[in-house]
Amino acid sequence: MKLKTLRIHYNMKSKFQPDKNGYFGQFGGAFIPELLYPNVKELQDNYIQIIESDEFQKEYKSLLKDYVGRPTPLYLAKRLSEKYGAHIYLKREDLNHTGAHKVNNTIGQILIAQKLGKTKIIAETGAGQHGVATATVCALMGLECTVFMGEKDIVRQAPNVARMKMLGAKVVSATSGSKTLKDATNEAIRYWIQNPETFYLIGSVVGPHPHPDMVARLQAIISEEMKWQLKEKTGKENPDTIIACVGGGSNAAGAFYHYMDDKEVELIAVEAAGLGVKSGESAATSQLGEVGIIHGAKTILMQDEYGQIVEPYSISAGLDYPGVGPLHAFLYESKRAKFMNATDKEALVAAYELTKIEGIIPALETAHALAVLPKIKFKKDQVVVVNLSGRGDKDLETYIKHLED
Ligand SMILES: *Cc1c(COP(=O)(O)O)cnc(C)c1O
């Protein structure tokens, strides 16, 4: 593949682009304390220009190719296709260096941080994938890295904690609230306010403008590649359906990005239902949430009648988040994307199924996307792409524990 085909084109006229204040419809914006204004403004004023510069594109493309291992394959899963009666392709983000789509974003943001002269990086992490991807690029660039992680996630994602430490990052335990991703994010924001000169390398399409748009642009490489890969394999750039799991929404944003204006492409976002949407132990934000402000953006989030955040729950740390990014809130409200969900149990079954019939162990997060396949009635020649956001090595302990269920 020629390098120049990796150039990312953004359709600035799309109604799925944010306005200049970072709003997708009514969602987005930047609700931040005054101390952070200068830093957030600096990023708002520069991120598009940096991303679109030839210099950035050259460095970003070259690292994605030779360091991350892109393009990731688009694999026609034959046995899975036979089982569900459709042509099911898997976009293999699990084959990226560090095991998930997260690194597409961290490579891009670390380059942006460098261009802005930042030397200290902070990040939050749930499953530890974003922490590992951030610690990795900080090691690569020789920058200081601090990662905030919920105390509970530190226990359930031990291998990733070890990786971050080996990569030279400092891992700070967030001990408030549910001790998971939202609490890690709160701690990271608190630290950022006290140290506004640090660069907050956010791991999903969440947070104050410009982070949701910036991260979506950096993940857009996924659908950019899908277009020419599908053309090669099926003769058409467009699939009928794209399915992706949603925590904050970054892998889905990347997989949907270049198709959002093509109404004939069905977009399916899958949230984690935990023990069941109505069980009180769930993270199905679009079903349970209302409009409010979380982590610097107006979006849909799970909150009680007093506006207090309701603790989410999912077996998968990467989906255990009480909000969705503003782009996804807009995709939901405008009905451009269809929102489905899968329980812990359904995700486990789907993970075992993919492993047994395709020889691929998916991440628990990704398993939620696969878990909706039995719930959809496919037409005979329907072309479906499932974004295989990550691999399951980090989840082996959970998988083994449930082997008997
Ligand atoms: C972090 C993670 C997710 C969820 O995050 P998004 O921003 O919604 O993509 C999904 N899959 C994997 C493998 C992850 O590591």
Q: Indicate whether 200 and 112 sit together in one domain.
A: yes
pLDDT at 8 over 80: no
Query: Of the residues 156, 182, 215, which one is the last residue of a structural domain?
Result: 215
- The reply to whether 81 and 158 lie within a common domain is no
The residue-averaged pLDDT of 236-241 equals 98
Selecting among 204, 223, 316, 389, the annotated active-site residue is: 389
Verify that 155 and 247 share a domain, yes or no.
Answer: no
| Residue 389 beta carbon below 6 angstroms from any ligand 1 atom | yes
pTM of the model: 0.95
pLDDT at 157: 86
* CATH classification at residue 134: 3.40.50.1100
The pairing of beta strand 241-245 with beta strand 383-387: parallel
Q: Is the residue at 197 inside a domain?
A: yes
Q: Given 200, 215, 230, which residue is the final one in a domain? A: 215
Q: Which ligand 1 atom sits nearest the alpha carbon of residue 390?
A: 13
Distance separating alpha carbons of residues 260 and 392, to the nearest angstrom: 29
Q: Which atom of ligand 1 is nearest to the CA of 251?
A: 9
Evaluate whether residue 41 is within a structural domain: yes
Residues 320 and 397 in one domain: yes
> Over 50: is that where the pLDDT of 1 sits?
no
Same domain for 139 and 76: no
For the chain, how many structural domains are there in total? 2
- Regarding whether 106 and 40 lie in a shared domain, the answer is yes
Q: Residue 243 pLDDT > 90, yes or no? A: yes
Mark whether 182 is an active-site residue: no
The percent of the chain in helix, strand and coil, each rounded to the nearest 5, is: 45, 20, 35
Most confident of 5-14, 154-163, 237-246: 237-246
pLDDT tens, position by position, 180-205: 888 999 999 999 999 989 999 999 99
- Does 15 reside within a domain? no
With a 6 A CB cut-off, is 129 part of the ligand 1 pocket? yes
On whether both 246 and 378 belong to a single domain, the answer is yes
Q: Does a structural domain hold residue 334?
A: yes
* 108, 51 Cβ separation under 8 angstroms: yes
Annotated active-site residue 124? The verdict is: yes
Any atom of ligand 1 within 6 Å of the Cβ of 270: no
Does some domain include residue 14?
A: no
Q: Is 9 within the bounds of a domain?
A: no
Mean pLDDT for the stretch of residues 286-298: 96
Rounded distance between C-alpha atoms, residue 24 and residue 15, angstroms: 8
The percent of residues above 70 in pLDDT, for the chain, comes to 97
For ligand 1, atom 10, the nearest C-alpha belongs to 365
Q: Please, which contacts does 50-57 make with residues 24 or more away whose CB atoms are closer than 8 Å?
A: 50/111, 50/112, 50/115, 50/116, 51/8, 51/108, 51/112, 51/214, 51/217, 51/218, 56/111, 56/112, 56/115, 57/7, 57/8
Return the structure tokens found at 326: 């503003």
Domain annotation covers residue 13:
no
Angle formed by the axes of helices 102-115 and 129-141, nearest 10°: 40
Same domain, 209 and 357: no
- Please, are residues 294 and 27 in contact by the beta-carbon 8 Å criterion? no
Among 130-139, 199-208, 276-285, 310-319, the least confident range:
310-319
Regarding whether 289 and 207 lie in a shared domain, the answer is: no
Kindly tell me if the per-residue pLDDT of 7 is higher than 80. no
Do 107 and 88 belong together in one domain?
no
- The pLDDT assigned to 9 comes to 52
Ligand 1 probe mutation, 91, 242, 319, 320, most atoms within 8 A of CB = 319
The pLDDT tens digits of the residues spanning 313-342 come to 999 988 989 999 999 999 999 999 999 999
**What average pLDDT does the segment 6-33 reach?**
83
Q: Is residue 211 a contact partner of residue 20, using CB atoms and an 8 Å limit?
A: no
C-beta of 102 in contact with ligand 1 (< 6 A): yes
Atom of ligand 1 nearest to the CA of 206: 7
pLDDT in tens, 332-372: 999 999 999 999 999 999 999 999 999 999 999 999 999 99
* One domain, residues 226 and 332: yes
Q: Which residue has the higher pLDDT, 7 or 135?
A: 135
**Residues 138 and 192 placed together within one structural domain of the fold:** yes
Q: How far apart are CA 178 and CA 317, in angstroms?
A: 12
Choose the residue to mutate in 245, 270, 327, 393 for probing ligand 1, maximizing ligand atoms within 8 Å of C-beta: 245
Q: Name the average pLDDT for the chain.
A: 94
C-beta separation of 219 from 389 below 8 A: no
User: Is the pLDDT assigned to residue 29 strictly greater than 50?
Assistant: yes
Of 166, 191, 215, the position where a domain reaches its end is 215
Q: How confident is the model at residue 235 (pLDDT cuts 50, 70, 90)?
A: very high
Query: Residue 18 domain-assigned?
Result: no
Instruction: Give per-residue pLDDT as tens, 36-56.
Output: 999 999 999 999 999 999 999
pLDDT band for position 14 (cuts 50, 70, 90):
confident
Q: What is the domain range of residue 112?
A: 24-67+102-215
State which of 204, 223, 341, 354 you would mutate to test the pocket of ligand 1, scoring each by most atoms of that ligand within 8 A of its C-beta. Answer: 204
CB of 362 within 6 A of ligand 1: the answer is no
Q: Average the pLDDT over each of 22-31, 133-142, 174-183 and give the range with the smallest value.
A: 174-183
